[in-house]
Chains A and B, each alone.
Chain A
Amino acid sequence: MKKINVEVNGKKITKEISDHTVLSSFLRDILNLTGTHIGCDTSQCGACVVHVDGKSIKSCTAFAADIDGSKITTIEGLTKNGKMHPMQEAFKKHHGLQCGFCTPGMVMSAIDLLKNNKNPNDREIRDWLEGNICRCTGYQNIVAAVKEAASKM
């Protein structure tokens, strides 16, 4: 067992975890933050993307012990005072989802894109979302949503 200290969505947390606990299981099974989804569980689909110290990573492919001392933001941490994040608003407005399974990862990844590139073109958005797989939308509305969010953020 390992003891870790982390900050999750602004809240300081200390927990004892098994050495082999991955971050996605830590968030979902220990903290009950089930907004982070697990799809492929081998870092290909991107449903589990969260931010660690401001960078997007796939939480299924990081040991929780390795994240000790970090600040984590999950999809649950985006809403401020009951108001959705502009990226969430844009996904809603443009219907950037159907089943919604990939959406938490898409939103977290897209927010990281805008941190690195404030005004991305279609090509840059599609390139950045390389690691996020959606089987419903055909990506058109996702790209439209990210473009709109870029104009508002």
Chain B
Amino acid sequence: MKTFDYHSPKDVKEASKLSSSKSVFLAGGMTTIPSMKLGLATYKDVINLKGIKKLSGIKVSGKIVKIGATTQHAEVAKSKELKKAIPSLAALAEGIGDPQVRNRGTIGGSIANNDPAADYPSACIALNAVIHTNNRSINAETFFKGMYETSLKSGEIIESIEFEVPSKSNYQKLPNPASRYAVIGVYVARFKGDNVNVAITGAKSCAYLDKNLSDALSKDFSTSSINNVNISSKGINSDIHASANYRANMIKVYAKKAVEAC
């Protein structure tokens, strides 16, 4: 690994000041550190956010769940309060990677990285999340821009993510057997007034809201209404793990599983 200067700031202001075009913010490091080792990324400065206490923790208040950016997957998975409010979100965290990854990896790191097969982005979109940074609040739908690309600007730090508590929700994924990344992941969330969001991960350059599935399930929340939705394989990822046709089919299969489990 190329050398760098390591920083451990005590507050967000200091962290933001240290950043430059040649720096990276470190949360769990589950993607950043292997990328640096493999020579895919080099940085002059690594700015560890873990020492900033206010960035960690889970708060449930009424219809809102607020999760701090450096909260680890294992904490999200175990949180009794969250299991009551949004059990599907705790279950999603429990299915990320492996126990050691869950003990280090963070929600803020995951969404800032925006891996096309990451789990959390689908939860953010389905649960109408608002991403709070040190500068502004961003809606999930505009936050995720493309492959490993978000609307975060240089020096901008995610502080917390706010999720809307649905009346029913479920996340189902076809995991890659080695990495547990989603070959396809489908997050279904139903809110008061029967409005349904269906967010998909693993299928395109990044997670997205499937309007057709969402509309169909908003009208009729049943597996049979999914039968009538046409999922085109156009624009769907095709790689060694799964072809575009297979993925397109799995979107419907996993959407049905999620609806059944709601």
Q: Which residues from chain A sit less than 8 Å from chain B, CB to CB?
A: 2, 18-20, 22, 41-44, 46, 49, 55-58, 61-63, 65-66, 68, 109, 112-113, 128, 130-132
Given contacts A42-B34, A63-B33, A63-B46, contact A2 B6 (CB under 8 A): yes
Alpha-carbon gap, A109 to B97, bound state (A): 14
A and B contact pairs by CB, cutoff 8 A, 6 listed: A43-B30, A44-B179, A57-B103, A61-B33, A109-B99, A113-B99
Instruction: Mark contacts of B144-188 with chain A using CB atoms, 8 A cut-off: 1 yes-contact digit, 0 otherwise.
Output: 000000000000000000000000000000000011100000000
Q: Which residue of A lies closest to B74 (CB)?
A: A55
Alpha-carbon gap, A58 to B97, bound state (A): 12
Alpha-carbon gap, A49 to B98, bound state (A): 12
Indicate whether B229 reaches chain A with its CB closer than 8 angstroms. no
Given contacts A43-B33, A61-B29, A63-B29, contact A20 B3 (CB under 8 A): yes
Measured as residues with beta carbon below 8 angstroms from the partner, the interface class of chain B is 20 to 34
Alpha-carbon gap, A128 to B95, bound state (A): 11
The residue among A19, A57, A63 with the most chain B CB atoms within 10 A of its own CB is: A63
Tell me if A46 and B100 are in contact (CB < 8 A). Answer: yes
Tell me if B104 and A131 are in contact (CB < 8 A). Answer: no
Given contacts A19-B5, A62-B29, contact A128 B99 (CB under 8 A): yes
Task: List the A side residues contacting B99 at CB < 8 Å.
Answer: 56, 109, 112-113, 128, 130-131
Docked complex: B31-68 residues within 8 A CB-CB of A: 33-34, 37-38, 46, 48, 50
Task: List the B side residues contacting A132 at CB < 8 Å.
Answer: 98
Task: List the B side residues contacting A55 at CB < 8 Å.
Answer: 74, 103
Task: List the A side residues contacting B100 at CB < 8 Å.
Answer: 43, 46, 49, 56-58, 109, 131
Tell me if A20 and B4 are in contact (CB < 8 A). Answer: yes
Q: Interface SS of chain A: helix, strand, loop or mixed?
A: mixed
Task: List the B side residues contacting A22 at CB < 8 Å.
Answer: 1, 33
Tell me if B3 and A42 are in contact (CB < 8 A). Answer: no
Q: Of the candidates B8, B74, B178, which one forms a contact with A65 in the assembled complex, judged by CB atoms under 8 Å apart?
A: B8
Alpha-carbon gap, A49 to B103, bound state (A): 12
Indicate whether B101 reaches chain A with its CB closer than 8 angstroms. yes
The residue among A2, A19, A68 with the most chain B CB atoms within 10 A of its own CB is: A19
Q: Which residue of B lies closest to A116 (CB)?
A: B99
Task: List the A side residues contacting B103 at CB < 8 Å.
Answer: 55-57
Indicate whether B234 reaches chain A with its CB closer than 8 angstroms. no
Min CB gap A85→B, angstroms? 19
Task: List the B side residues contacting A66 at CB < 8 Å.
Answer: 6, 8, 26, 29, 48, 50
Min CB gap B139→A, angstroms? 32
Task: List the B side residues contacting A63 at CB < 8 Å.
Answer: 6, 26, 29, 33, 46, 48
Q: Which residue of B lies closest to A128 (CB)?
A: B99
Task: List the A side residues contacting B26 at CB < 8 Å.
Answer: 63, 66
Task: List the B side residues contacting A57 at CB < 8 Å.
Answer: 100, 103-104
Q: Of the candidates B3, B50, B97, which one forms a contact with A19 in the assembled complex, judged by CB atoms under 8 Å apart?
A: B3
Alpha-carbon gap, A22 to B1, bound state (A): 10
Task: List the B side residues contacting A18 at CB < 8 Å.
Answer: 3
Indicate whether B17 reaches chain A with its CB closer than 8 angstroms. no
The residue among B6, B38, B50, B99 with the most chain A CB atoms within 10 A of its own CB is: B99
